[in-house]
Structure 1
Amino acid sequence: MTGPDGFTKRYRVGRLGQNTVLYAGGMGARAVIQAAYLVLLSRWMGPEGYGYFAGSVAAAVILSPLAGWGVSFLIARNVGLDATARGAMWATALNQIALSGIVLVSLVMLASAGLLDHRVSTSAMLMLAIAELVALPMANTAAGLALAVDKGWAATVATMLVPAGRLSSVGAWMASGGHPSPDAVAAAHLCGSLLGAAAAFLLMARIGARPQWQERLPMLSAARVGMSHAFGTLVGVSYLELDKVILLQVVDAATAGAYTVAFRAVALFVLPVTALVASAIPRLLTSAGGPAEPVLRRAIQRTLVGYAILATALALVSAPLLPMVFGPGYSGSSRYMVMLAPWIMIFAAHQYLGTRLTTSDRQGLRLAIESGGMVLLLALNLHWIPELGADGAVAALYCAELVMILAFAWRGGRKTS
């Protein structure tokens, strides 16, 4: 007969599986929406126009993990332990996203004034920065809150809202006969992002997460606790955008566009990896050190290995289709996608090993490793891209990822005293 502990283990794994399937389904639908958006923009704007747009978006995305200043971790921890805290933590999240957004948008504008190609106007950069540093983080945080309260269906919806809003807005502009300039597309991109963020706010009310402003965490306290996780997410995510910005600046927009299409196509295959990790973190935090933890970790490990192998094969098979889907101007994208396909397995290993540190109260160690990896990646990109172009970007990515994985594996089993 199954005892209470056994039932709890089964229930936790079952709920994790259910939420992962739901959230992965949402990420899958999001992937379809993002693929449609990618096809629409790349064909409409052409390799050069899309290269300018994608490079500018990447410049804003680099800072996007700092949006909310680590509040997603606070939600996973606090709401995972006490579901009644959802209103207070949603208010905390909105407050943190708004305040951090002001700072981050200002930083992007200062950087773009001196470093980025001025064929993308200041107003366009401002719109892209708001879209990536305020609107999108709001919807993503809503999805994390839904997962923390076991509302997998709400997380599924939340993760699709901003991409769907962007596709609808840009599609409407295109259908109206609008011009495919980076400035016009940036305006439509922002409008769609704001629509998605507004819908996420309404969705949170639907699951009982109305902002409880008087009960929100003090700003300084929330920022202090979330700081290491904010910077950990920064280096753990933004390192993937460095190459697009450098390609745009030191090679040309057409190469940046072709490489970005290939990278975004491969990135669609890693969305289920992200979904599984996001679903698992609240449960791993609450089960840390208990008998349920090894069961969860083994289930996650087996799932990631099986999926990564399958996804890599699918990416290789899909590579020749890119010029047919995006247009003949993207013929070079197929070659880049073949080169990038094995990165899916490397990314899965990175996320699994990194999450082990995060959920065992060693986020500082993860931050140190990934910070070193980001510095290494930046140095390799600056050294190889001017000489090798996009091939140098691929080589730099693999080198930096493997160094980080080796460091994770070396330190992962060594507990601090």
Structure 2
Amino acid sequence: MARNTFWVFLGQGARLVIQGAYFVVIARVLGVNNYGSFVGAVALVAILSPFATLGFGNLLVKNVSRDRAAFAESWGNTLLMTAVSGSILLALVMALARFVLPASIPAQLVFAVAISDLFAARLTDAAGQAFQSVEQVRWMANIIVFLSVVRFIAALVVAFVWKHPTALQWGYFYCGSSLIPAAASIILVSRRLGMPRINLAKIFGEMTEGFYFSTGLSAQTIYNDLDKAMLARYSTLDATGLYAAAYRIIDVSYTPVRSLLYAASPGFFRAGQSGIEGSVAYMKRLLPKGLIYSVLILVGLQLIAPFVPRILGQEYARSEEALRWLAVLPLIRTVHSFYSDALTGAGYQGVRMVLQVFVAVFNIVINLWVIPAYSWRGAVYSSLASDALLAIIVFAASTIICRMEPKRSMASMESS
């Protein structure tokens, strides 16, 4: 666990540095309005992108962590489902963009982002999950770093070629910088771990559980990212850009905890074979580490907040206030992420999905009120409320299931 966490953190840490540089370059050269347009398109696509693999990337980790012989079929099925589902979602995104996004965001930008995030990025993620499933996370880290390096190079090219690039010009390079790592990652996995093999019968048998995974991920994307698309629609692109900049810093700061969760994922599935008590016990050994870091980052973000306008430019001055409010998110997110993974590891992904969908609906409803009324501050309020609500109900659900599961086991033994 320590070795795997180290490799994931090394990869995520390198990506942190590279993406930080990439973020500064793009935010500065695009300006707050163009950056807001780009973020609006990304946020819309992100809501549907979890369905691009229909959860088969997560099933790959689950199946292979328990049985290495299942790799070829799990890998092949993941690639097939990404191609089929991604094509359907591409058409859906283009149709939704006309109604959800403002007319100032060009359809070509949405198309470029959709190709990147529905196909290329999901294939790269699946390649990382392939190495994660066999706990060869060093290669997963290499994939993470490679994607970041290619994207940073693309950002430098855009900044060098155009003095004031548009969101669309960056969108084309964003797409290209996703396709190259995707192709390289598929080749790497197939050569090192085995060629893909498709099993249609297994696809149909796992469709329901895969749907649980993808729906849960999509709900997570809604309460994390829909507010940016809604800001672009109901407020201003300026507000979208400054809020997205602060939120991006929060995402970056959460990297060490995310690394631990990635490394622990196969362990959650193995511990969960004995039931919810096994996965919760496994989780409780790891949770204190995440909480300690989250408290430290809360303090650190308060200290660095005044320097944000100096780094990104004075047009992002209000991002300082947004960052101060959002600094508590990593702490809340750590709680609900660990308890949610305990549910998933024990086979309660369906329960986790229902809770995530509930919070996503709550987030949409509250955003329809607070964003038109309070602009980016409303988005901050809804983010804090949504994550806090999820932490409470996931903790409650895992506690209730822990009490009920032994009773079910005893009842089944008595009936037999």
**TM-superposed deviation, 1:21:** 1.5
Q: Is the 8 A contact 2:271 2:346 kept in 1?
A: no
Give CA-to-partner distance per residue, 1:66-92, whole Å, 9 cap, x none. Answer: 120011221111110222332322211
Matches of 1:175 and 1:210, distance apart in 2? 40
User: 8 Å contact 1:92–1:217 — kept in the other structure?
Assistant: no
Match of 1:259 in 2: 243
1:144 correspondence with 2:129: yes
CA distance in 2, matches of 1:205, 1:57: 29
Which of 97, 103, 109 is 1:124 aligned to? 109
2:140 alignment partner in structure 1: 155
- Aligned to 2:58, what secondary structure does the other structure show? helix
Unaligned runs of 5+ in 1: 1-15
The one-letter code matched in structure 2 to 1:272 is: P
Paired position in structure 2 for 1:384 = 370
Aligned to 1:353: 339
* CA deviation after TM superposition for structure 1 residue 206, in Å: 4.4
CA contact (8 A) 1:19 1:147 kept: no
More off after superposition, 110-119 vs 220-229: 220-229
The whole-number CA distance in structure 2 between the counterparts of 1:18 and 1:174 is 38
AA of the residue aligned to 2:59: L
Measure, in 2, the Cα distance between the counterparts of 1:100 and 1:272: 31
Q: 1:295 to 1:324 in 2, by over 3 A?
A: same
Structure 1 position 100, deviation (Å):
1.1
Counterpart residue number, 1:235:
219
Indicate which of 306, 310, 327 corresponds to 1:320: 306
2:89 to 91, 104, 108: 104
Instruction: Calculate the TM-score normalised by the size of structure 2.
Output: 0.92
Structure 1 CA distance, aligned partners of 2:88 and 2:207? Answer: 13
Task: Tell me the distance in 2 between the aligned counterparts of 1:388 and 1:120.
Answer: 23
- Aligned runs of 1:16-31 on 2, under 5 Å? 16-31=1-16
- The amino acid across from 1:210 in the alignment is M
Please give the alpha-carbon distance, in whole angstroms, between the structure 2 residues aligned to 1:178 and 1:241: 29
Aligned length: 401
3-state DSSP of counterpart to 1:63: helix
Q: Which residue number corresponds to residue 149 of structure 2?
A: 164
Q: Which moved more, 1:308-317 or 1:290-299?
A: 290-299
Is 2:175 the counterpart of 1:194? no
Contact 1:136 1:197 in 2 (8 A): yes
Measure, in 2, the Cα distance between the counterparts of 1:209 and 1:329: 50
* Equivalent in the alignment of 1:85: 70
**Between 90-99 and 312-321, the greater mean CA deviation after superposition:** 312-321
Aligned to 2:194: 209
Residue by residue over 1:249-277, the C-alpha shift from the partner in whole angstroms, topping out at 9 and shown as x without a partner, is 11111111011000001110112222222
Name the structure 2 match of 1:61. 46
Cα distance in 2 for residues equivalent to 1:414 and 1:277: 23
* Amino acid in structure 2 at the alignment position of 1:158: I
Structure 1, residues 138-169: CA drift from partner, whole Å, max 9, x if none? 11111111111111111111223333222212
Percent identity, aligned pairs only, is 25
Q: 1:350 Cα shift?
A: 1.2
8 Å contact from structure 1 (residues 51, 248) kept in 2: yes
Contact 1:251 1:386 in 2 (8 A): yes
Q: CA deviation at 1:118?
A: 2.1
Match among 18, 23, 36 for residue 51 of structure 1? 36
Distance in 2 (CA, whole Å) between partners of 1:186 and 1:210 is 32
Match in the other structure for 1:245: 229
Q: What are the superposed Cα offsets for residues 201-238 of structure 1, whole Å, 9 maximum, x if unpaired? A: 1321342233234x576443342331111111111233
Does structure 2 conserve the Cα–Cα contact (< 8 Å) formed by 1:45 and 1:180? yes
1:6 corresponds in structure 2 to none
Distance between the aligned counterparts of 2:203 and 2:112, measured in 1?
26
Letter of the structure 2 residue corresponding to residue 220 of structure 1 = F
Contact 1:263 1:340 in 2 (8 A): yes
> What amino acid does structure 1 have at the position aligned with 2:211?
M
Secondary structure of 2:317's counterpart equals helix
Q: Could you list the per-position Cα deviations for residues 156-209 of structure 1 after superposition, in whole angstroms to 9, with x for gaps in the alignment?
A: 112233332222123223223375111111100000000111121132134223
Amino acid at match of 1:313: V
For 1:254, give the aligned amino acid: D
The answer for the alignment partner of 2:350 in structure 1 is: 364
* Aligned equivalent of 1:408: 394
CA–CA separation in structure 2 for the residues paired with 1:143 and 1:105: 23
Q: CA offsets per residue over residues 112-144 of structure 1, 9 Å max, x none?
A: 123312222212211101111111111111111
Distance 2:13 2:49 in 1: 22
Contact 2:22 2:152 in 1 (8 A): yes
Q: Considering fraction of residues, name the structure with more helix.
A: 2
TM-score normalized by the length of structure 1: 0.91
Paired position in structure 2 for 1:72? 57
